[in-house]
Amino acid sequence: MDIATVKYSELSEKELIFLLHEGHEGALRSLYDIHVKKLHYFILRTAKSRQLAEDVVQDVFIKIWETRVLIDPELPFRTYLYTIAKRHLLNLLKRLQHESGILNEIRKYVDPSENTTELQVEYSESNVMLTEAISKLPPQCKEVFIRCKMQGLSYKQVAAELAITEGTVNSQMVKALRSIREYITFKNAALALLVFLSNLLD
């Protein structure tokens, strides 16, 4: 198969999985285009939130990309996709419920007049780190990330604004989030090392 001239839309799902195994982003975009609407509706029925449903769909396809070599082309891709989606949504809902409980407990004990300078500094540092990570993204990745995550636009709106497909929006979000996570993980590890060394020298 000549990848330079291949039309992904004309390939079978099985052929797309084989190409996905080999790292072809076009195959991921095609699989996204095939399944995104029904998957979004499936998640929305449980999530009851369009933004949460979009985030889950995005995370699911990131997971598909990251675990692509584990996908069996001989088995129905839809079953694999929806299994990941259900697990991720349930885990996310549990985490959100847990975090909400923690915040409620904190509100019970925190004095509104208490000095929260340290918390403000930590929040500010996190924002700086995120801004740095975004600034290092390739141009299209950056445009897509800013529109989706910071301006709150849907994939459809971003695709229309940038004259690209929704599949391309998704693949660029996959790249952007992976890059941002790697950058922040690296920065946090470096910061932890500096703190550790500083403590040793004290």
- What domains sit in the chain, N to C, each tagged with a CATH number? 8-112 (1.10.1740.10), 115-202 (1.10.10.10)
Q: How far apart are CA 49 and CA 101, in angstroms?
A: 20
Query: What number is the average pLDDT over the span 137-156?
Result: 88
Two structure tokens written together for 181: 């996570």
Q: How far apart are CA 171 and CA 46, in angstroms?
A: 25
* Residue keyed to tokens 């340290």: 118
pLDDT confidence tier of residue 112, bands split at 50, 70 and 90: very low
- pLDDT digits over 29-67, tens only? 999 999 999 999 999 998 888 878 888 898 899 889 989
- pLDDT digits over 160-182, tens only? 999 888 888 888 888 888 888 88
Q: How many CB atoms lie within 10 A of CB 26?
A: 19
Instruction: Give the mean pLDDT of the chain.
Output: 78
Q: How far apart are CA 142 and CA 130, in angstroms?
A: 12
Q: What pTM was estimated for this model as a whole?
A: 0.55
Two structure tokens written together for 109: 């004990």
